[in-house]
Chains A and B, each alone.
Chain A
Amino acid sequence: MSGIIGRKMATKGILNMNQLLLGSRVFASRTFSSSAKEMTVRDALNSALDEEMSADPKVFVMGEEVGEYQGAYKITKGLLDKYGPDRVLDTPITEAGFTGIGVGAAYHGLKPVIEFMTFNFSMQAIDHIINSAAKSNYMSAGQISVPIVFRGPNGAAAGVGAQHSQCYAAWFAACPGLKVLAPYSSEDARGLLKAAIRDPDPVVFLENELLYGESFPVSAEALDSSFSLPIGKAKIEREGKDVTITAFSKMVGYALQAAEILAKEGISAEVINLRSIRPLDRPTINASVRKTNRLVTLEEGFPQHGVGAEICASVVEESFEYLDAPVERISGADVPMPYAANLERMAVPQVEDIVRAAKRACYRAEKSVPMAAAA
């Protein structure tokens, strides 16, 4: 294995090596002693914020505990010392208040980065996000643009219960006027956050608390301060030919693990890291399904009207003849997140669920399972 990698390193550039490393990487494994630098998602986000604030004096950060406390999850660590209280604002406890203020500041030309301690709390400010930020450019016919970024942890953490665990990707992605991004790796985090801050439209940036501490290799290109990733482009994390698995955020890691297990059983899974929920990279998804003929959608959020539902509809609309099996949709359980660890485990998709669904899509299920059963 290392011999093969060595030969490839000699003949291809750093980016390809990165692709190879990512393609064969196992979730949570740090066994590569490669020459690529490693960076946690937390550091990736922090460095992206730092560089964008340095490049553009109009960018400022606002939220609860972002300043003196260095950030509830330490994403904004060091920024208060470096940029001062004018650009890193600690706020009173009012999501409606600071979101409204951020929108107002954006109306007038500043570029706020609003942090929600978790997107569950963004519900207290949803009117400002949807009715003001998302719709203003349209309603004012382009006179009022809202170059704002709403960021924070989204989805389930570990043992935090119903009001701290919901995934809001589908809710925000339903709304025209918003862009919705969901990074997975550190490179995703850096590139997409920079793109979000530079973008003149309002962007909802969905992070994941459990990924903050994860380390990923980052290329030299990604470390450059001018780096950014295009919004609306998904990434093929692992190429395959038998079944397409779409995922975003933490679930990408799970999908990659499942792909490893499936590979041992002779099923080659293609894992797509969506990166962008709105706009959804329908061309990439459809091209992949036309290649593999089978689709498994994966998300942590609630099943009804979820991201998987939209992907399924898109594929049925555009690539129906290419499907050899019904689309498998894996999502969280249709219940508010329970707290007890055993119940929580059953309420979110696990790697085994992904493997089983992929096998069903390949008509390789061990037992005949009724169509309506949950994974």
Chain B
Amino acid sequence: MANLISKSRNLNHFFLSSRFHLLSLLNQRSSRTPSFTTVAGGGFIRPTAKFSGHIFRPERYQSNQAGEQLSTIYYEEDGHHQNTHENQDMDFPGGKVPITPQMKFISESSEKRLPCYRVLDDDGYPIPGSIFEEVSKELAVKMYSSMVTLQTMDTIFYEAQRQGRLSFYLTTAGEEAINIASAAALSLDDFVLPQYREVGVIFWRGYPLQQIANQLFGNKFDYGKGRQMPCHHGSNELNYLTVSSPIATQIPQAAGVAYSLKMDKKEACAVVFLGDGSTSEGDFHAGLNFAAVLDAPVVFICRNNGWAISTPINEQFRSDGIASKGVAYGIRSIRVDGNDALATYSAIRAAREMAIKEQRPIIVEAMTYRVSHHSTSDDSTKYRPVEEIEHWKTAKSPISKFRKYIQRNGWWNDENESEHRGDIRKQVLQAIQAAEKVNKSSLTDLFTDVYDKLPLNLQDQEKSLRDAVKRSPKEYPSDVPI
């Protein structure tokens, strides 16, 4: 033993020779194996599956042609060989994944964009072969007249802001079909979490025109007791969450509401509205991911209207809209023409059905165009061409399209139209005048609802405010009751 150690050179030689000996043994073994197949065009020998797919090349130690040999494998045409690699799955956390020896990056965009489901063409004719849920005359007329009401009241309220009678307003111009058709497709038990451009939904559910005016003026009849900006409607009774200004916060909250409905085993779902811009918020990702993981019955209705104030969608995201994001979260999705009342109605009916029966989230991307400025604080002609706005306002109007459809069915005529428009106009003007005259909420409502019960410090503050009012009554506004 000692002899061997001291003579290191000899030792190395000993090992080297034994290695070569081993190699030659292996070499012999390999050349004798009958399972080798020569490959046409390959020009060298490859082991079969018996060797678990790795290349057994004893000559590799000597070869300097490894690169060539390897590259030959990648362009291997032999189907038999491909199967032995590609029919195998790899086990990873999360399940099996098929393997491929091809290094292929998935393209950032598909060749074709996701198709948009549509029932009525631009002239209001049902597209031949289109599948949709039939709508009765009563429902169609109710939907249409509600869309007209929505458009009329938006116009008048907007003008009222311009006249200085309201501090703020935002309209649903161009999105009347999304508002009304989606509302019509839901049941009152479905809990709605709006963004802020969905007053048509709460209106459909029974929130009166006068109540809309009351909220805008923040008078004492406002359910919100004058605490919120105009257009921040809400009603417990109608299952419509009070509008909250920060964008996208309602998205994970919708998953929470859906979870609550799931726990109660109710035949209802949560329905959350969001704009194209909101999909950039972190809350969008968290909400969708979570809803999928929780199997929450929630329908995400994205109003893709092309603009987030002045940000067009190509500056908002680089994906193919929002429906294409569904697969990333494991959520079933559809893209629908949001200016087509029938298509929107059918799609949301189906989405709701799936969400409740299968207890899963669904995404409905409603394509449309924001005809209106973002709000009364915006002038969109500054960042987009007037012609573009006009085009969508007239040629692509969801109201005109649906009107053509119902008139052709004999359910509506020009006389109905002018009568209805005149009627609504009068009602809205009256509502404004009435709401303007009503007193604001009383001083007490400054302090209530911060907590469930009025805490001591607020009781003290209210008392000192009342004392201050008594001391200087002239400085106190006359339309705020004490």
Contact = CB atoms under 8 A, between A and B. Distances in A.
Given A101-B290, A105-B260, A141 B193 contact: no
A138 B450 contact: yes
A140 B251 CA distance: 18
A147 to B, nearest CB: 9
A278 B456 CA distance: 11
B445 interface: yes
B289 interface: yes
Contact of B252 (A86, A101, A106, A142): A101
6 interchain residue pairs of minimum CB distance: A104-B256, A100-B252, A97-B286, A104-B253, A101-B256, A105-B256
A140 B289 contact: no
Nearest to B228: A139
Interface in B192-227: 193, 222-225, 227
Given A97-B287, A108-B261, A109-B260, 17 more contacts: A96-B283, A96-B286, A97-B290, A100-B251, A101-B255, A101-B256, A104-B193, A104-B257, A104-B259, A107-B256, A128-B253, A131-B249, A132-B253, A136-B242, A138-B227, A140-B242, A282-B457
A137 B445 CA distance: 12
B446 to A, nearest CB: 10
Interface in A119-164: 127-128, 131-132, 136-145
Contact of B455 (A107, A136, A279): A279
Interface string A94-115: 1011111111111111101000
Contacts of B235: 143
Interface of B: 191, 193, 222-225, 227-228, 232, 234-236, 241-242, 244, 246, 249-261, 263, 270, 282-283, 285-287, 289-290, 293-294, 445, 448-452, 455-457
Interface residues of A, number: 44
A325 to B, nearest CB: 27
A92 interface: yes
B451 A137 contact: yes
B260 A176 contact: no
A127 B223 CA distance: 24
Contacts of B451: 137, 177, 179, 201
A177 B447 CA distance: 11
Contacts of A139: 224, 227-228, 232, 242, 244
B227 A97 contact: no
Interface string A277-289: 0010010000000
A110 B258 CA distance: 11
A232 B242 contact: no
A96 B450 contact: no
A110 B263 CA distance: 9
A200 interface: yes
Contacts of B294: 89, 101
B452 A201 contact: yes
A91 interface: yes
A128 B285 CA distance: 15
A107 B251 CA distance: 13
Give the one of A101, A106, A128 with max B CB within 10 A. A101
B259 A107 contact: no
Contacts of A279: 455-457
Nearest to B250: A104
Nearest to A57: B263
Give the one of B254, B294, B452 with max A CB within 10 A. B452
Give the one of B263, B286, B293 with max A CB within 10 A. B286
Nearest to B298: A104
A205 to B, nearest CB: 16
Nearest to B262: A86
A270 B234 CA distance: 49
A107 to B, nearest CB: 6
Contacts of A131: 244, 246, 249
A92 B445 CA distance: 40
Given A141-B223, A145-B452, A91 B290 contact: yes
B253 A100 contact: yes
B289 A104 contact: no
A127 B228 contact: no
9 contacts: A100-B256, A100-B286, A104-B253, A104-B270, A110-B259, A127-B249, A136-B244, A139-B224, A140-B234
A102 B286 CA distance: 12
Nearest to A90: B293
Interface of A: 86, 89, 91-92, 94, 96-110, 112, 127-128, 131-132, 136-145, 176-177, 179, 199-201, 232, 279, 282
Contacts of A103: 253, 256
Contacts of B285: 94, 97
A52 to B, nearest CB: 17
A273 B259 CA distance: 38
A97 B191 CA distance: 19
B253 A137 contact: no
B457 to A, nearest CB: 6
A92 B290 contact: yes
A245 B24 CA distance: 87
A110 to B, nearest CB: 5
A131 B455 CA distance: 20
B260 A110 contact: yes
A47 B241 CA distance: 35
A94 B256 contact: no
B218 to A, nearest CB: 11
A150 to B, nearest CB: 14
Given A92-B293, A139-B242, A100 B257 contact: no
Contacts of B455: 232, 279
A106 B263 CA distance: 13
A96 B449 contact: no
Given A97-B289, A139-B228, A143-B236, A104 B450 contact: no
A312 B4 CA distance: 86
A109 to B, nearest CB: 6
Contacts of B242: 136, 139-140, 143-144
A347 to B, nearest CB: 32
Nearest to B242: A140
Contacts of A141: 222-225, 227, 445, 449
B253 A101 contact: yes
B372 to A, nearest CB: 24
A107 B241 contact: yes
Contacts of B456: 232, 279
Given A96-B282, A104-B255, A279-B455, A132 B223 contact: no
A106 to B, nearest CB: 7
A57 B67 CA distance: 66
Contacts of A127: 246, 249
A179 B282 CA distance: 27
A106 B293 contact: no
A176 B455 CA distance: 11
Contacts of B287: 97, 100-101
Contacts of A101: 252-253, 255-256, 259, 287, 290, 294
B448 A144 contact: no
Contacts of B286: 92, 94, 96-98, 100
A247 to B, nearest CB: 21
Contacts of A144: 234, 236, 241-242
A13 to B, nearest CB: 29
A165 B254 CA distance: 32
A68 to B, nearest CB: 15
Given A101-B290, A132-B249, A143 B256 contact: no
A266 B455 CA distance: 39
